[in-house]
Chain A
Amino acid sequence: MPSLGTFVLLAAFVMGAYAAAASVVGARRRSRRLIESGLGAFYLVTALMVLASGIIVHAFVTNNYAIKYVQRYSDMAQPLAYKLASYWGGLDGSILFWVFLLSVFGAIAVHSNRERQRELIPYVVATIAIVEMFFLFLMVIHNNPFETYLTETHADGAGLNPLLQNFYVAFHPPALYIGFVGMTIPFAFGMAALITGYLDDSWLRAVRRWTMISWFALSFGLVLGMLWAYEELGWGGYWGWDPVENAGLLPWFTATAFLHSVMVQERRGMLRVWNVSLVIVTFFLTIFGTFMTRSGVVQSVHAFGEDRELALMFTVFMVLMLGVSFGYVIHRLPLLKSRHELDSWVSKEAAFLANNWVLLFSAFFVLFATMFPTISEALMNQRLTVGPPFFNKWMAPIGLILLILTGVGPLLAWRKSTVRNLREQFLWPVVSAIVVGGAVVALGVRVWSSGLCFALSAFVFGTIAQEFWRGARVRQGGTGTDVLTALVGLVARSRRRYGGYVIHLGIVLMFLGFAGEGFKTEEQVLMKPGQQTTLRGYTVRYDGIRITDDGQKQMVTGHVTLFRDGKQVGAMEPGRHFFRKREEEPTTEVAIRRGVAEDVYVVLAGYDMQTQSATLMLVVNPLVNWIWFGFAVMAMGTGIALLPESTFAFAAARAPAGTVTATLLLLSLLLWPAALAAAEPQHVETPQSAAVEVARTPVEKELWRELVCMCGTCGRKKIGDFCCGYAAQMRAEVRTLLDQGRTKDQIFAYYIEKYGSQEPLAAPIDEGFNRLAWLLPYVFGAAGLGLIVTMAMRWSRKPASAAADDGATEARVEADQSLSTRLDDELRDLD
């Protein structure tokens, strides 16, 4: 199996090389057949990558610990979902996943544009194939995920880092990678346009949707990362300007800039050089981000493996790529002349340009500050580092400038705004900003940047509301319906524009969340059971700690009761989990009480079993939930903007993502009071003795996990969960039964008899899903094979000329049809 995997990678590399060569040669010689064969090879790479993914997933599911990668990133005890997530748990697998995604995206993009962009396709194929080849080369030479141990045998794996065994992280890398990889498609089309010289705006149309989807996936990945940092790492924040976080943010800035500047080129034919360059820079930053986090160029708290060889390969690739692409840009400068000049600084174009400059500046500033230790070491032999405060000092004003532009851009007219329409447009947004600003001053908000942020948010909100309102009124006048219907019709008619406004709205809500950061309170206290402390109107009482074990990990849970104005508002259980084989790295289980206005966030930072005392970190995070909610709004906006004729598969795959997050977040916002009102546990807590009770034999441990506490109020907790005194009695009972020499089955029988049903047994593991999951790799493999076979069948058909007459006419009709659709398209563009 592993050797087959390696072979598939090699085959994919060769195929990619052929696809690139055949496409370029075919395009230069105008040989249709060569181009087609290049295309075929390109699709074959996709099939091979599906197969390779199937093999690695199969290895994970079947616990094939002969493969190093599988041994290092998974183990027997892991739930199945995380076994699948282990696929991208490490470097080698993420590269494989990267190429897999790229080949699939490339195939879709090429297939859907093969008629419309006939001249560009060969070069698109060649570009994507070359990028694939680079990563395949990395894998084959340096990081082969299929590498096996030569002599050692392992019965079990080292396990996925427990920090990564979290719901958000299962989706975080794939989302980021979709974003990163998706940016390769616009780059490939841009390069093809540069090489062929077909630099009209049609290549932009081909990639607009791709950019939008990638941009959204990137945003989604970043937000998931923030959520994960907030809930899993337990330092009370969600963004620490860590190199790894910044690596994902850099391409986000340039992609956002590109999404805006494309509109200027579409409307006014300006900024052509700029757009091509932005696409190249965005792609470069995705590669650079990967390089930065993986090569140890920037040392961060995540001690990534420093890897000279990998760094060298990446550097060579990046230098070549930049050289070739910008060489072409310079070569094509005469063709990239813009049709118009900037007429006035008081115009939409100028606002877009300003937005682009600010975003690009942000990208380069973050890049500079992230690389600062490396740069200073190279220049001055002094390692100087800059911390988050430095980033915040710069990025807070930059963020506010962007917020202003978000509000100003839509209000300005194209070409030149007159004084009269400036007055008309700016009146209400400015009024709303002044009202909120006045309120901020009156309430005496101490943090000026947050106060300014509130006022500016009001300004942008006013702008968006005004746009919707005026548009709806105009439409109402035209169609004579009620306002709401007019509004829906308006959004449906110009989806991109109003989808964009909804995204802006989401951004504003996120900014509210960021502004809340200025009012954060944090306290670290050492408490004994029964002690209380107060923080921002809350009273926190610490009740004690408890240790439990579920076989995969040992859990230390602190019990904290929260009061507000003397009323008990909830019980919180911050904890630490010590995973098996990773006792040195306990994970932090944060207890969060979410709220519309603020989160209460409790971390068990340290504890002492002897004295039962604990060190707690208490944080009050105002407005933090608006970040997640704002993202849900952004997802809705993206959905609206992409709604039309977006390929069915993506619509199906994305709508749930957007709606699910939105619904979940809405629900979490609506339901938290209900959740808080949930009944208090009714059974009596027995204080645990300081000495921890442990199972003596493996059989006893199993029984602890497979028998349920029968006290009636524990809610079917296992007796090994130390839930109450009754469970302790049952454990003692189990121990005596074992001492009498009874087997596990006899003990089960004893309990079934005692309670008259199977109730004391914990539910048997559901076999159905597991069986399905076993099928997965085979399905993958079969799909890959099927693809190969159908391709082979289709290409080996005789050419039309040798076929029967009716076949020939059919082919001709088909050709005519494809030609006429192209003609239609091109004529439509002339309107």
Chain B
Amino acid sequence: MKQRAIKIALTTLVLVGAFSGLLYSTLRDGTEYYKHVEEVSGEPSRWYGKKLQLHGFVVDKSILRRRDSLDYRFKIQSNGSVIDARYTGVVPDTFKDGSEVVLKGTLGPDGFDVAPNGVMAKCPSKYEPGK
């Protein structure tokens, strides 16, 4: 009985250890920090190259689109801080001046590079009517 308990304990320990190790290593390159613009703009160099999800609002009249292409440049702000963003691809319908967005991508010295399909405008809920 005692031997069995030890066996079980050891097996669990090894398994849990292996899984935690795996989990930790995959989490390290799988996670994205969820940040508001003002949290990042204070010390931008700290966040260079890290995967971010940036939350903010599109600055009015800042959306520029290159003619006959899907290249967008726009600014997002929250609580007074502003960051430039670049994106190529399809934007959701709700992406307009002043709309609340979450951008996936990385921050660099000359602004925020949005990943493909990385623009998420606040999606009206599937179930609740728009308020």
Contacts and interface: CB of A to CB of B under 8 A. Distances in A.
Interface string A136-176: 00000000000000000000001101011000000000000
A89 B126 CA distance: 9
A301 B117 CA distance: 14
Interface string A518-542: 0000001010100000000000000
A606 B130 CA distance: 22
B122 A385 contact: no
B24 to A, nearest CB: 12
B90 A615 contact: yes
Given A161-B127, A164-B126, A302-B126, A615 B70 contact: yes
Given A91-B127, A303-B125, A586 B93 contact: yes
B30 A393 contact: yes
A187 interface: no
Interface stretch (B31-39, B41-49, B106-114): B31-39
A159 B127 CA distance: 11
A530 to B, nearest CB: 14
Contacts of A302: 123, 125-127
A586 B125 CA distance: 13
A394 B53 CA distance: 21
B69 interface: yes
Contact of A304 (B32, B89, B128, B130): B128
A244 B123 CA distance: 14
B5 to A, nearest CB: 14
Contact of A585 (B27, B31, B68, B93): B93
Contact of B122 (A235, A303, A582): A303
A617 B104 CA distance: 19
B120 interface: yes
B70 A526 contact: yes
A160 to B, nearest CB: 9
Nearest to A73: B129
A384 B91 contact: no
Contacts of A389: 30
Q: Interface range on chain B: under 10, 10 to 19, 20 to 34, or 35 or more? A: 20 to 34
Contacts of A385: 31-34, 53
B90 A606 contact: yes
Residues of A contacting B: mostly: mixed
Contact of B33 (A89, A304, A382): A382
A158 B26 CA distance: 45
B124 interface: yes
Residues of B contacting A: mostly: loop
A390 B27 contact: yes
Contacts, number: 89
Contacts of B117: 235
Given A383-B33, A586-B93, A301 B123 contact: yes
Interface string B55-93: 000000000000011100000000000000000011101
Contact of B129 (A158, A304, A382, A528): A158
Contacts of A161: 124, 126-127, 129
Interface residues of A, number: 42
Nearest to A303: B125
B8 to A, nearest CB: 12
A90 B127 contact: yes
Contacts of B130: 582, 584-585
A390 B123 CA distance: 22
A386 interface: yes
A40 interface: no
Contact of A384 (B32, B93, B94, B104): B32
A613 interface: yes
Interface in A803-829: none
Contact of A524 (B26, B35, B89, B128): B89
A158 B128 CA distance: 11
A163 B126 contact: yes
Nearest to B34: A383
Contacts of A394: 26
A383 B52 CA distance: 11
A524 B71 CA distance: 11
A585 B31 CA distance: 30
B93 to A, nearest CB: 6
Contact of B127 (A301, A304, A387, A605): A304
A197 interface: no
B27 A386 contact: yes
Interface string B1-42: 000000000000000000000000011001111110000000
Given A387-B30, A605-B90, A606-B90, A89 B70 contact: no
A389 B115 CA distance: 13
Nearest to B22: A394
A373 interface: yes
B93 A393 contact: no
Contacts of A208: none
Contacts of B30: 386-387, 389-390, 393
A305 interface: yes
Contacts of A90: 127-128
Interface string A289-308: 00000000000011111000
24 contacts: A161-B124, A161-B126, A161-B127, A164-B126, A244-B126, A302-B127, A303-B122, A303-B123, A303-B124, A303-B128, A304-B127, A305-B125, A305-B128, A384-B32, A385-B34, A386-B31, A387-B104, A390-B30, A524-B89, A524-B90, A526-B68, A584-B94, A584-B130, A585-B94
Given A89-B127, A393-B26, A524-B70, 11 more contacts: A158-B129, A163-B126, A164-B127, A384-B33, A385-B53, A393-B30, A394-B26, A584-B124, A585-B94, A586-B93, A605-B90
